[in-house]
Amino acid sequence: MLIPFVIFAQSLAAAPAPSSANVYVGRQSQLAVRMTRVEAEVQIDGSLAEPVWQRAALLTGFSQFSPQDGVPAADSTQVLVWYSPTAIYFGIRAFEAHGAPTATLADRDKIASDDNVQILLDTFDDGRQALVFGVNPLGIQTDGMLVESNQLRTASFTSQVQSRDQADLSQDYVFQSKGRVTEYGYEVEIRIPFKSLKYQSQAVQSWRLNVVRQVQHSKFEDTWTPARRGALSFLAQSGRLDGLTELRRGVVLDVNPELTQRVSQQHSTPTDLGSRWITQRNDPEPGGNVRWGISNNLTLNGTVNPDFSQVESDAGQVTFDPRSAISFPEKRPFFLDGMEGFATPSNLVYTRSIQQPVFATKLTGKVGGTTIAVLSAADDRVYSRGYLPGLGGRGQMPLFNIARMQRDIGGSSRIGVTYTDKFDEGYNSHLLDVDGRLLWSKVYSVVFQGAMSRTTVDDSTATAPLWTASVNRNGKKFGFRYAVSGMDPDFTPNAGFISRPGVAHTSMDHRLSWFGAPEAFLQSFTFNPFYDNTWKYDYLLTHRDAIEKKLHFNTQFQLRGGWSGGASVLLETFGYDPDIYQGVYVQRSATDIVPFTGTPRLPNRDWVVSLNTPQWPFFSANALYLWGQDENFDEWASSDIVYMQLGALIRPTEKLRINPTHVLQSYDRQSSNDLVRVERITRVRTEYQVSRPVFVRVVGEYRTSNRLSLIDESRTFLPLVFCPSGPPQCTPLGARRANQFRFEWLFSYQPNPGTVFFAGYGTTSTPDALNLSQLRDYDYRRNAAYFVKLSYLFRM
């Protein structure tokens, strides 16, 4: 046990520490750091040996935050901080007595499985949002924005309890970092230029700061401030950097020209000459983005003909409920910068609804206590209602306008107003929203929202409301959330995303948590009973019965050594919804065809178990398995269901990462045990990091979907047919089989955000089941595309 202490002492002797007057011990509540301004610049090389580091403030005395708060951190951490006129510097010494830290030469934002340290900077000193700059032991970066929701953080049957809100890592900032593994752990040097930050306009500034360390061998999360889990706001428990003066941001003007070349191929209809390919070579597409820092706290962005292609397609998903649409995260750089200003409850701003803008502009920032975000965009005319390809592509460009303002109230509360509109040929839609979050007593909050849309399509106009409200308590051992929401079927989120319109919900969500001693085998255990009722919106207003009733009993646990998992029991009933079976009939005979009416209500009873392994240096895995009795929407009948998710991360070397995943969903008829429907998605993502800015990625995804001919399983067992205009013009709902293989590769050179070279290829094939040899056969390929993208960031 003396070896770690000797190493610790040797490291301190090799690098002189600041004087005791400049040491701030978090566990002793020494959280107001008087900043040291030094007229100097240092080379970012991962070494803290330069003399200037002796003048830095030293942050130490970390506490454990997760799974148990209020105890000293098991692993010692030191953070040095000082600033020059143009940047703020952080030096990290992370001591690790349990062996070498987990560190890989990962791609940007892919260090969650490594040991890492995250710096949370709240430059507006409002306790509501913070910039996040993270590094692993080699200095590989992750960054983004943490915007607190102030909602109860509970378990569910598909996810773990979150001890705090997590950062959105979509945004990328320009900063420098380098690290190295040492005998005592690791050491990282970081420089964050003021050009990459927005901050207040005062002559003397105070910023909030916290430092989070994630230790992979134990799955512990440590913080510099002695933060408590039993609080709605994690950021409000931050320390402070006081006395920042004469910050020289200079002219902030980023010009980011880009050029993209695409070649696409589509499989044509077979002819007497055999199958053919149609190849389309697009002209090189120039575009670009401009970012201008109008002031310390306001930024104006513009883009013309940007390339919004994805360097990797969205991963395949399966759905439990066909009535619910699936959303995908935004990945396009123009929209991501300052996106936190557009965040609203109920996803009333979903920028992927702007599909391929020709030009767009955006203003974001914070003035005083008011956050401002304004966006206008003109989408490509091919997405217009009036687009006519046969007439030269005529049609107007759809126009979008989005504006949001939020005002800080008190210590952590806020109120916001959002306006969005969309104009198209024969179509215009306007939406106005008011929402807010009111916090009190550190653990209670009320969240509310009211919105109204007015939409005109040709000569028809509809006005419709949306409303939500919830009361939350987020204590350490006991929390609850009571919520109610409703959305009129005619409500139109013209620039937003609504997964399931026209419904109303009431829910009661409780959390009871127990925490073990620091050395106990069981570190934490959470019991989460959840009750939810869903009505069709009109049913709620007319006092009719809920169409869905759910009672879930969820449990989650974390064990010493990094193991975690959970178990759940799901009790549900689903009511028949005739709207999703319009045009479906039961065929009694060739001439006797009657409407399908379905069983009034289906009972469900499901069991769920999940397990996550520790994050070992070379391997980790996770698994979720659900089985029981669940609704089969294809036949509106109770079926025996199996749903499984498997995933792993394999890292045989510091540079190679292999991430296989498998999803299975199947339904068996209870009357005959026939497998009526099954979907499988197997995806393998492999990355090789040639060097810090260069990597090669290969992705393969194989998806199968099989379904038997549909019958009226819950009543007559007769065939189902689809008659869109009523009998006798009907089509049998027969057996269906689909197999799809998606293959992609990408070469990426990205020395910093904005400067990139991408070369990629993707193709989709439809082979027969398990006949992978057909993947080489052009007759089974449906499309293919090649692309090259070049962009360069000019920072002035």
Give the range among 318-332, 555-569, 655-669 with minimum mean pLDDT.
Answer: 318-332
Q: Which two tokens stand for residue 630?
A: 């669940």
Alpha-carbon span 778 to 765, nearest angstrom: 8
pLDDT tops 50 at residue 5: no
- The two beta strands, 781-791 and 503-515, are unpaired
Alpha-carbon span 782 to 119, nearest angstrom: 47
Q: Tens digits of per-residue pLDDT, 757-792?
A: 999 999 888 866 555 554 555 556 678 889 999 999
Q: What average pLDDT does the structure give for the chain?
A: 89
Q: What's the confidence (pLDDT) of residue 783?
A: 80
Name the pLDDT band for 463 (thresholds 50, 70, 90).
very high
Q: Tens digits of per-residue pLDDT, 402-443?
A: 999 999 998 889 999 999 999 999 999 999 999 999 998 888
510-522: average pLDDT: 91
Asked whether residue 320 is assigned to any structural domain, the reply reads yes
Pair 348, 457 in one domain: yes
Name the pLDDT band for 329 (thresholds 50, 70, 90).
confident
Pair 239, 341 in one domain: no
CB environment 640-666: b (16+ within 10 A), e (fewer): bbbbebebbbebeeeeebbbbbbbbbb
How is 103-128 classified by DSSP, letter by letter?
---PPTT--TTS-EEEEEEETT--SS
Alpha-carbon span 497 to 351, nearest angstrom: 9
CA quadruple 549, 645, 165, 297: dihedral sign: negative
Pair 238, 365 in one domain: no
Alpha-carbon span 389 to 99, nearest angstrom: 64
Look at the chain and report how many structural domains it folds into.
2
Asked whether residue 179 is assigned to any structural domain, the reply reads yes
Q: Which two tokens stand for residue 666?
A: 């199947």
Q: What are phi and psi of 35, to 5 degrees?
A: -70, 145
Q: What's the confidence (pLDDT) of residue 85?
A: 95
Domain end position, chosen among 244, 262, 296: 244
pLDDT tops 70 at residue 362: yes
Contacts of 585-592 with C-beta under 8 Å, sequence gap 24+, read 585/720, 585/721, 585/722, 585/723, 585/727, 585/730, 586/712, 586/716, 586/718, 586/719, 586/720, 586/721, 587/718, 587/719, 587/720, 587/721, 587/730, 587/732, 588/716, 588/718, 591/728
pLDDT tops 60 at residue 1: no
Whether cis (ω within 30° of 0) applies to the bond prior to 728 is yes
Pair 443, 330 in one domain: yes
Q: Tens digits of per-residue pLDDT, 132-177?
A: 999 999 999 999 999 988 766 665 666 666 778 889 898 899 999 9
Structural contact between residues 203 and 235, judged by C-beta atoms closer than 8 angstroms:
no
pLDDT tops 70 at residue 535: yes
Asked whether residue 127 is assigned to any structural domain, the reply reads yes
Q: What's the confidence (pLDDT) of residue 280?
A: 79
Asked whether residue 505 is assigned to any structural domain, the reply reads no
Pair 116, 230 in one domain: yes
What's the Cα-to-Cα distance from 701 to each of 99, 233, 264, 660, 770, rounded to whole Å?
A: 37, 40, 20, 10, 13
User: What CATH number is attached to the domain comprising 209?
Assistant: 2.60.40.1190
Pair 140, 31 in one domain: yes
Domain that holds residue 388: 314-497
Q: Which two tokens stand for residue 473?
A: 């308590």
Model confidence, pTM: 0.88
Q: In residues, how long is the chain?
A: 796
Whether cis (ω within 30° of 0) applies to the bond prior to 614 is no
CB environment 704-721: b (16+ within 10 A), e (fewer): bbbbbebbbbbeeebbbb
Pair 320, 233 in one domain: no
Asked whether residue 568 is assigned to any structural domain, the reply reads no
Asked whether residue 172 is assigned to any structural domain, the reply reads yes
Q: Tens digits of per-residue pLDDT, 21-39?
A: 699 999 999 999 998 899 9
pLDDT tops 80 at residue 14: no
Nearest partner of 548 among 559, 536, 558, judged by Cα: 536
Residues sharing a CB contact under 8 Å with residue 163, sequence separation 6 or more, in sequence order: 65, 66, 67, 153, 221, 229
Name the pLDDT band for 10 (thresholds 50, 70, 90).
very low
Nearest partner of 25 among 75, 61, 64, 49, judged by Cα: 61
457, 463, 466, 467: CA torsion to nearest 10: 170
Alpha-carbon span 107 to 102, nearest angstrom: 15
Asked whether residue 270 is assigned to any structural domain, the reply reads no
Side-chain half-sphere exposure of 320, counting CA atoms within 13 A: 12
Alpha-carbon span 201 to 520, nearest angstrom: 49
Pair 97, 187 in one domain: yes
CA quadruple 101, 105, 110, 116: dihedral sign: positive
Pair 154, 234 in one domain: yes
Q: What are phi and psi of 196, to 5 degrees?
A: -85, 0
Q: Tens digits of per-residue pLDDT, 197-225?
A: 999 988 999 999 999 999 998 889 999 99
pLDDT tops 80 at residue 310: no
Domain end position, chosen among 450, 466, 497: 497
Domain end position, chosen among 447, 462, 497: 497
Q: Which two tokens stand for residue 65?
A: 């935050």
Pair 319, 231 in one domain: no
Alpha-carbon span 368 to 755, nearest angstrom: 33
Alpha-carbon span 534 to 560, nearest angstrom: 39
Residue 335, SS3 per DSSP: helix
Q: What is the DSSP letter of 410?
A: T
Pair 238, 145 in one domain: yes
The conformational region for residue 125 under phi > 0 = left, psi -120 to 50 = alpha, else beta, is left
Asked whether residue 107 is assigned to any structural domain, the reply reads yes
Higher pLDDT, 778 or 112: 112
Pair 332, 235 in one domain: no
